[in-house]
Amino acid sequence: MQKTLSTLIAIRTSSMANLVIYYLQKLPLVGKRIPDRLYAKLGAKKILSAAAFLLSLLGNFAGKLAFVGLFLYLPVSAVPDLSGDERWTLFLHLFFLTSFVAAGVSAATILEPKREKYVAVKLMRLSPARYMKAALAYRYAAYFVFYVPVLIIFALALGAGALDAILLAAALTLWRIFMEYLHLLLYDRKGIILIKKVGLVWIVICLSFAAAYAPLLSDAVPAAGAWMLSRPIQLVMAAAGLLAAVRLWRYKQYRRTVDAAAKRDDPLLDVGRMMSEAQKTSVQSKDSDYTLQSRSKLEGLEGYRYLNAIFFARHRSLLVAPVKMRLIVIGAGGALLAAAALAFREQLDGLGLELAMVYPYLLLGFNFIAVGEKMCKAMFYHCDLSLMRHSFYRSAASQHFRLRLVRIAAFNLLIAAALGTVLAILQAAAGNDWLGMEIVLLWISVLFLSLFYSVHHLFMYYFFQPYSTELNVKNPLYFIFSLFISMLGGACIVLKPAAGTFASLAAGLALVYLAAALLIIRRSGQRTFRVK
């Protein structure tokens, strides 16, 4: 086991070291000084591997600290007029639904598709049983070790004790082991890999997070989470987790599960092909799109304007479908909520619901409903993958960036208009003023946020160009910048800015981002917009 664990860590740190070298080479000024032969220098690679291992440990701890701090502790601490016990109870409510329910359904190490499994089992001929036992032992030992200090920090801040935090970390770890066993049992009995049922998994995640954060809107303190994480239930979870650990240790069919997760048969890099095919399927167009319905709109267009118009015309179903889906969901959801508001207007009056409660969630919400990211992937696969190999196309990055920005902004403005209309209708259905300043500020906010995310997704594509030829996203800077934007949305939820302040910030951020993106792409687009 110890030898297998050492090999497993060596695979991970070596891969991380290679990734660090690759992206260091892409940095301006410094990158040209880093030669390719560094990949083969064992001494330097060992140092980089050790550094990568330490960074992975720090990243693991920082990720848990950021999640618990930003998404659980800060929302709880922002609720006014709560005692220490009530804050801890509300924290347990959020923690149970997000970490026990949502994460338990959406994550399973045993059946997770991962290139590391292919490398370890097929290329390095490790025993699937020894590999999976080592991977599970390492994951959940680290899981417990890193969650203990994180939960102690926030438990003490919320008035609970260190022992409460340690027992909570132990219950979570053993529960996740139990969920691993349930995922494996479902695959054994029914042949179903639950984490690959993307639609079902995201429904569970969305419902869990919605149920977790719903009490924050009414300042309620539900006791369900505290009951589910009480000492008797923790003992039950611990017993179930220990039993599951024994069953996982004695399990005899790990080769079958590794094959199902990594598809080891052929060709040599079948995992990469599997992931690539999944990515390409998501950007496939219909054959009927290639028959242009009207050529009149293309008359008189030249150069990149013509190319841009051809692209959007020939991939209309791919590009319009996400917009239609969002409009349908917003419209249907708005109709149901409006009907409920009319039917229960008297009850709603007593809750004190106001339009101002919506503003803090708009920035993070638009990150999910804006359509720029999928459009950028479609542009890369159907158009840019071939053209950006040529210097003339890269040198004109600023020109086609502006043309595409107009198209993407138009789609997102349509979604924003639908959302603004629905919120205004809900305001009227609840018996509130729907022609006042709050509605004006709402429209300003949603329209500028649609512009902000249109610029954001296209700028990320042109500046970081995160897609490989297999449509995989591996650029760590892309993820860091995306995380920063998400953190801004989380900060808005915690700080709860007033309507006027939020509208001003949305307009200011959108305009500054637009000006900065146009300037940066004009100066750097030729260098950054390329195939990787």
Sign of CA dihedral 444, 448, 450, 451: positive
| Six token digits for residue 469 | 């030829």
pLDDT tens digit string along 296-353? 667 677 888 888 888 888 877 788 888 988 999 888 888 888 887 777 666 555 545 5
* Gap between the Cα atoms of 443 and 253, Å rounded: 57
Rounded mean pLDDT of 478-497? 82
3-state SS string over 1-32?
A: CHHHHHHHHHHHHHHHHHHHHHHHCCCCCCHH
pLDDT of residue 16: 73
Strands (DSSP E) found in 107-262? none
pLDDT tens digit string along 241-278? 999 999 998 888 888 887 776 654 333 334 444 445 54
For residue 98, name the pLDDT band (cuts at 50, 70, 90).
very high
pLDDT of residue 270: 43
| Reported pTM | 0.57
The end-to-end CA distance of the chain, in Å, is 38
Q: Which residues pair with 467 in a beta bridge?
A: 473
Residue 94 has pLDDT above 50, yes or no: yes
* Gap between the Cα atoms of 197 and 188, Å rounded: 16
* Gap between the Cα atoms of 234 and 225, Å rounded: 12
Residue 161 has pLDDT above 90, yes or no: no
* Gap between the Cα atoms of 354 and 39, Å rounded: 58
pLDDT of residue 271: 40
